[in-house]
Structure 1
């Protein structure tokens, strides 16, 4: 399915949500950066533009936190379609006006911003699949050329999200969020589920790409090594720097743009096909890497 894209992006953008916060946009206490689509659309546009100017060939819409289970908790359920549509539209307009090729990705996630996933807020079975499909459909209609499942960190919801996203007919990338435990094993964030188990038990045969995202830079290479043992298709990685204390990103232990560029090259040299950054990674980081 990855062949459906006009080209394969080498450079992904950085942390849109944290860049919004760094520039002064307030973060919603439940839905994090999703509300900024409504409250700060021009700032959001400028953030995406800055990543495009820095060399990004793939812009990811600000929809990571715009799942219905987050917007309902934030009292924004009636804005679900508008937030998901407008977030993609903004990126689509920038890509269309760019003098060089740039792809537009939509994003969906099961995260509940509650540490471990709050399953009391998540649907299951066909209801979950249909809800993920609905969010993906809105984004594709607004101009997304591919869908990225972001911060996937269990088996059940990843399976539902993948099935739902595949229903809209565009390539789907699956991004796992991981950490390296004290025992040296790589686990999905906030769980005892090993990345190896997830890759073994999930049917990823219809995914266009599988990658590691929103994972600390120092843990990313451990996860990449496991990924490469279990997945032979297109791969991506976009790590983060810092930590999260809802609703704010703590820009602690930030990596310099020069060091990030070096790590990005290391990822490419290891065989990762597309590289960018997540939370805490700014346009300066992407520019240095580019």
Structure 2
């Protein structure tokens, strides 16, 4: 098992993670206000997904996160696809990210290449069970399955991501400590050669959405070798500095953060409203780096421009 995050961080300030997929897909005409969200594009416009990945690499990203956050076989089959076709869509999501990486990096000159991460990564997105419910519960953690049920839900998608060649898993927007625990156990039991980053969904700067202490949750996973970075995503920009300070006190792992851009989400209408008062990445990234963050990107509503602002301070 090779920890590619650790390899990439040697002699570097940090790594740049990509930004939102759905926001950019909407600019390609993909409708994302369904239960599939950005995964709709796997059926309707896969070339748009590749284009979005490539635009993030062009703007400084070292990591592409596959468009599989809300892509799962159960939901595809509920919508009428066969099991085989549903599985093929998960595989396709990885292939699109890898192709975008190749198309961008293969054209870089030697001088351009040495300025970037040694191993540009494709992270296989594993969203929580709450994303499958498509009711906003990834922001509440208000669901309760057994460990075996969580693992059964996640296993096939993880197998497909692994077989398609992701460099690591992205266990992201995890609001529920029990689900995170089930995922990490599944990683260790079934994917002993694979790494993952683990990012929580939080209700404030020190508490997971289900009420678990963020510090206690991070501390719990600190000794798991296969967790190669830990932190949060899909929270406000303003929360990040305090979060990094808290996490930094209880882990020696690289800290990963990728917040939203400050817009406000309505889970009922599945739409966003702009927040003109929000801070910017340009304002805050230097503070996050100083506090100890090592991997920084963007989540909902962020754009290649935002990722370019992050890359200015890292690349």
Taking structure 2 as the reference length, the TM-score comes to: 0.80
Q: Secondary structure at the match of 1:236?
A: strand
- Aligned twin of 1:230: 250
Deviates more, 1:61-70 or 1:124-133: 124-133
**Which residues of 2 match residues 21-36 of structure 1 at below 5 A?**
21-36=26-41
1:12 to partner: Cα distance = 0.8
Contact 1:214 1:278 in 2 (8 A): yes
- Aligned twin of 2:116: none
**CA-to-aligned-CA distance 1:211-265 (integer Å, 9 cap, x gap):** 1111111112222222112211111111102232346441511688x93123222
Larger radius of gyration: 2
Cα RMSD over matched residues?
2.6
Q: Secondary structure at the match of 1:37?
A: helix
- Aligned twin of 2:272: 250
Distance 2:258 2:93 in 1: 20
Distance 1:11 1:232 in 2: 19
- Aligned twin of 1:215: 235
**CA-to-aligned-CA distance 1:102-152 (integer Å, 9 cap, x gap):** 2111010213332334637xx533343244232112112212101110100
Q: Does 1:88 align with 2:88?
A: no
Contact 1:66 1:84 in 2 (8 A): yes
Q: Does 1:105 align with 2:123?
A: yes
1:24 to partner: Cα distance = 2.5
Q: What is the aligned counterpart of 1:139 among 152, 161, 167?
A: 161
**Residue 287 and residue 255 in structure 1: after superposition, are their counterparts in 2 closer, same or farther (change >3 A)?**
farther
**CA-to-aligned-CA distance 1:146-177 (integer Å, 9 cap, x gap):** 11101001111111122223432221100111
Note the residue ranges of structure 2 that are not aligned, 5 or more in a row.
Answer: 114-118
Contact 2:244 2:255 in 1 (8 A): no
**Which residues of 2 match residues 12-161 of structure 1 at below 5 A?**
12-68=17-73, 70-71=75-76, 74-76=79-81, 78=83, 79-97=85-103, 98=105, 99=108, 100=113, 101-110=119-128, 111=130, 112-116=133-137, 117=141, 119=143, 124-161=146-183
Q: What is the aligned counterpart of 2:213 among 194, 197, 201?
A: 194
Contact 1:147 1:165 in 2 (8 A): no
- Aligned twin of 1:179: 203
**Residue 202 and residue 289 in structure 1: after superposition, are their counterparts in 2 closer, same or farther (change >3 A)?**
closer
Contact 1:177 1:212 in 2 (8 A): yes
Distance 2:201 2:146 in 1: 21
1:2 to partner: Cα distance = 5.9
Contact 1:178 1:223 in 2 (8 A): no
Contact 1:68 1:77 in 2 (8 A): no
Distance 1:21 1:50 in 2: 14
Q: What is the aligned counterpart of 1:281 among 294, 298, 302?
A: 302
Distance 2:172 2:32 in 1: 19
Q: Secondary structure at the match of 2:176?
A: coil
Deviates more, 1:244-253 or 1:204-213: 244-253
**Residue 77 and residue 275 in structure 1: after superposition, are their counterparts in 2 closer, same or farther (change >3 A)?**
farther
Distance 2:53 2:249 in 1: 34
Q: How many equivalent residue pairs? A: 282
